[in-house]
Amino acid sequence: MTIPVREMSEWESRELLHHGNVGHLACVHDHRPYVVPVHYAFEAKQLYVFSLTGQKIDWMRSNPNACLQVEASGEHHRWNSVVVQGRYEELPDAPEWHNKRLHAWSLLQKRSFWWEPGSSKPGAGSDERDNPIFFRISIDEISGRELAANAGIHDVTILQE
């Protein structure tokens, strides 16, 4: 039996982004992809993220094109997945960026564990070079898909067991 996958509307995709808080951030450098989990906050046309310096920050500084994938799953193998294409923009720790950094922090701090995993590096101790970085992804495109299992699937599954 084939279960259809359907395109989600932009509104549905934005709702999934709004209710989620963990996604997979992808960036590319020298034709090599890199994907890491991040906590994020979503507002209008922006995704806000906190991190320390490292590979993803270095790579997005050199190539600001970035992608975030967010998913949700439910019973009977249902799932939704949203992909956001956009551009990285760092919110530097400078007086002229203070209000934007404060805004990013105010959105992120509403989420549980918003500082993880961005505040940790494997094997890293306290390093003064690891200044906190707030950045945003300005959204260019949003697309979403959903496994649209119909009501009869559960009944068929029971009969096959």
74-114 pLDDT, tens per residue?
777 789 999 999 999 999 999 999 999 999 988 998 876 56
Lookup result for tokens 């019973």: 75
Reading the block at residue 41, the tokens are 């906050």
Reported as a pLDDT band with limits 50, 70 and 90, residue 62 is very high
In order of start, what are the domains of the chain with their CATH numbers?
A: 5-120+130-160 (2.30.110.10)
d(CA 101, CA 106) in angstroms, rounded, equals: 9
H-only helix segments in 34-97: 55-62
d(CA 81, CA 17) in angstroms, rounded, equals: 10
> Whole-prediction pTM value?
0.80
Contact 72, 16 (CB under 8 A): yes
Reading the block at residue 42, the tokens are 């979503």
